Amino acid sequence: MSKKAYSSIEDFEKSAAGLLERRRSTRDRPSIIVAGGTCGMARGAGNIAEAFRQQIARRKLARKVLFRETGCHGFCQAEPLVVIDPEGILYCGVGPDDVTEILDETVENKRIIDRLVFKNSHDGRSFPLEREVPFYRRQQRQILSQNRLVDPRSIEDYVAIGGYGALARALQRDPKHVIAEVKAAGLRGRGGAGFLTGKKWEFCRDATGGPKYVICNADEGDPGAYMDRSVLEGNPHSVLEGMLIGAYAMGAQEGVVYIRMEYPLAIQNVGIALEQARELGFIGRNVLGTGFDFDLSITRGAGAFVCGEETALIASVEGRRGMPRTRPPYPAHSGLWGQPTNINNVETWANVPIIIRHGADRYAEVGTQTSKGTKIFSLVGKINNTGLVEIPMGTTLREIVEDIGGGIPDGKEFKAVQTGGPSGGCIPAGHLDLHVDYEGLAEAGSMMGSGGMIVMDENTCMVDVAHYFLSFTQGESCGKCTPCRIGTRQMAQILARIKRGEGTPEDLSKLEELAETIKETSLCGLGHTAPNPVLTTLRYFRDEYEAHIYEKRCPALSCVDLIFFEITYECVGCGICIPACTTGAITGEHKRVHAIDQEKCLRCGTCFDVCPPKVAAVVKGSPAKVAVS
C-alpha cells in the first residue's frame, strides 16, 4: 500500500492535524497496550498480543477498543506488561490466560484485577495505576514515555503524537538558528564523553568540503546498557527525525545508522521506519518540497566493541577493519570518506526533536547547571526493579537505587553501583547522595558513559568486577597501540592472580603504575579509560584486594579459588544435592548428614542453591580448605 509523499510543509501539517485530531477524539476510548520489545518478547509478550488480537476480532470489539503493540516501556522487571487506557491501569507479569479476564473485567466492567497489580516487594502495597507505581513516579520520561504511545511500525502513530512536527518547524528556519537552539538547550552527547552537541554541529557546519555526513551511533557496546536499543526498537522515527533536523542544520545530505548486529529487532524496526519515512517524503530528494535532499541507510555492526569509538565506526562503515585512529583531525573535519561528518549517539539524536518542539529554554529548565535535560539509565544487576530509568540530570544515586529501583533483593546489603561500563568505575555506598550528572560521576572517579548502572551487593567481589572489565577491554582491544594491547593483558593477569589467591603486596602498586601508563599513552578512548574500573575499586575497596592478597580470603565469598562449601549438621539427609552436583562430590546416606569432597568440589554453588531454604545446611566460607584442582 503505497502512500503519496507530502509535497509541502503545509500538506504535511494539514494531514498531521487530522491525525492529531483523530487521536484526540478517541482519547476516551478504552485502549489496550502490550509492551513488546526484545525483553518483553523474551518473556512471552508476543503470545499475549496475539491472544488480545484474536479475542478482539472474535468479540467484534475492533471499533470499540483500540489495541496497540508497542516497544519496551522500561519496567522490564514486571514484564510482560499490559496497560489499559484511558485510566492508565498497569498489569504486570501477564500471561496469555489472563487475556479473557482482562477484557471481561477491566475493559468491559472497569474492575481491577488485583492479582495482576504491581505490589512493592518490601511492604506489599499495591499500585493499580501506572503513574503511581514508585518505579515510574519519580522519573521524568521525556523520551521513554513516547514508547507507550506508538506502534513503532506505524509512522502515522508517530505523526499523531506530533512526530516530524519539529522537522517541519526546523525546515522553516535558518540552519544556523537550529544549531543555536540546540546549543542554547545545553544538550550534551549521551554516548560517552558528553561533548556539547550544538558546538559539534557548528564545527561540522563550518567545515569546508563535502558532501557532509551524519551518523547515528547505535553500537551500544557497554555490556549492561540497553536504552539505545529500547529507543530504536520502540520509537525509531524519533531518532530519524533528530538526524533529519541535524542534517538540515549542518548541510549534510547523507546519513548512516550504525546498529550492532546483536539487536535484530532494532535493525528491523529502523528498516521499516526508513521505508515509511521515504514513502512519505521525509527522506529522499526535496524533503517536504523544501529543496533539502537527504538519504539515510543502515549499517550493521559485526561484533566489535571498539567500533563504538567514532573513528573505528567510520572505518568499518567504509568496509575496513574497525581500528581507531588518532584525533585530530576530528570527524567534523575529516570523517566518513574523508568528508566532514557528525556522529551522535541514539539518545542524543532522540533529544533533538524535543528541543525544537518545546524550545531551548524549556528544555534547559530540566537538569543541573552543566548537564541539561534527562538521561536514561539501565538499572540492572542486584536490584529489585530492573529496568530503564529516565531522570532529570542531578537526581541522586540514592533516589535511583532506593526509590526507583526499590532497593536490593533478598534483604542483602548494597555495596556499589558501577556506571560508565568498561570505561567507568564503581561508586560505593558512602557516595549514594551524589548528584548524577557528567561532573558528579567524573569526580567520583567514574563517568556517565552510555548510562549503564549495575548495582552490586555484598556478594559481589570488587576484585572480580575489576577483573571482569579488564578481561573485557583486553579482549576488545583492537591491538593497534601497545599500551592498550599489552598493558590491559598485564593488568588482567595480575587481577586473575589476585583472585586465585596468588597476589603479592607489590601487585597493587604494579596495577597503579600500569594504569597510569595505559591512561596516558593509549591511542583511543578504549585504552584511556580501561584502567578506571581498577582504579576506582582500588580507591574505594582496597581492603578487599588486601584480603585476597594477605589472607587469601574473598570477603564477598565469590572467588572460586578462595572459598569452600560445607554441609553442616543441619543436614536432614534428603539427598537432593547428590544428583545435582556435576562432579559427584557429595556423598551421604539417606537421612544422614551428607559431606562434600573438597578435592572434587568445583565451588559452583549448586548444592547451596538446591538445599531447601528451610534446611539451609550448606554454608559458604573463605579462605578455601583446599585448592581447586
Partner 1 sequence: MNQTQQVITRITSKYGKNRSALISVLQDVHAAYNYLPEGSLDIVSAQLAVPLSTVYGVATFFKAFSFAPRGRHVATLCTGTACHVRGASTLLVEAETRLGISPGETTADQRFTLETVNCLGCCAVGPLLVLDGKYHGQMTAQRIAGVLEGG
Ligand X SMILES: Cc1cc2nc3c(=O)[nH]c(=O)nc-3n(C[C@H](O)[C@H](O)[C@H](O)COP(=O)(O)O)c2cc1C
Task: Give the binding range for ligand X (CB under 6 A) out of 100-108, 111-119, 165-173, 303-311.
Answer: 303-311
Among 217, 238, 418, 622, binds ligand X (CB under 6 A): 217
Least distance (Å) between residue 162 CB and ligand X: 23
Query: Does the protein bind ligand FES through residue 224 (CB under 6 A)?
Result: yes
d(CA 588, CA 298): 60
- Where are the extended beta strands (E) located within 382-444? 387-392, 414-419, 425-428
Using rule CB under 6 A, residue 424 touches ligand X: no
The three cell numbers of residue 175 are 540552519
Q: Which of 141, 183, 190, 205 binds ligand X (CB under 6 A)?
A: 190
Scanning 3-11, 184-192, 430-438, 555-563 for contacts with ligand X by CB under 6 A, the matching segment is 184-192
Identity of the residue, 421 or 440, whose beta carbon is nearer to ligand FES in the bound complex: 421
Binding mask 490-529 for ligand X (x = CB under 6 A): ----------------------------------xxx---
Q: Give the position of cell 542486584.
A: 382
82 binds partner 1 (CB under 8 A): no
Which member of 96, 134, 223, 588 binds ligand FES (CB under 6 A)? 223
For residue 241, count CB atoms less than 10 angstroms from its CB and return exposed for 0-12, middle for 13-18, buried for 19 or more. Answer: buried
127: left (phi over 0), alpha (psi -120 to 50) or beta: beta
Applying CB under 8 A, does 230 fall inside the site for partner 1? yes
Smallest separation, CB 371 to ligand X (Å): 13
Residue count at the site for ligand FES (CB under 6 A)?
2
Question: What does 308 bind: ligand X, partner 1, ligand FES, none (CB cut-off 5 to 8 Å by kind)?
Answer: ligand X
Q: Where are the alpha helices (DSSP H) in 286-437?
A: 310-317, 346-358, 360-364, 397-398
Residue 565: enclosing H or E segment and its boundaries? Answer: strand 564-567
Residue 543 neighbours by CB distance under 10 Å: 10
- With cell 489496550, the residue in question is 32
At 302 the three-state DSSP class reads coil
SS3 394: coil
Give min distance, CB of 553 to partner 1, in A.
Answer: 19
Residue 249: CB partners within 8 Å, gap ≥ 6?
Answer: 170, 175, 176, 178, 179, 182, 201, 205
Binding mask 551-580 for partner 1 (x = CB under 8 A): ---------x-------------------x
Comparing CB distances to ligand X, the nearer of 102 and 313 is: 313
Are 388 and 378 spatial neighbours (Cβ–Cβ below 8 Å)? yes
Pseudo-torsion of CA 387, 388, 390, 396, nearest 10°? 50
User: Can you give the binding site for partner 1, defined by CB under 8 A?
Assistant: 38-39, 41-43, 76-77, 79, 221-226, 229-230, 261-263, 299-305, 316-323, 378, 380-382, 386-387, 418, 421, 452, 454, 456, 460, 465, 468-469, 472, 478, 560, 580, 582, 602, 604-606, 609-610
User: Can you give the binding site for ligand FES, defined by CB under 6 A?
Assistant: 223-224
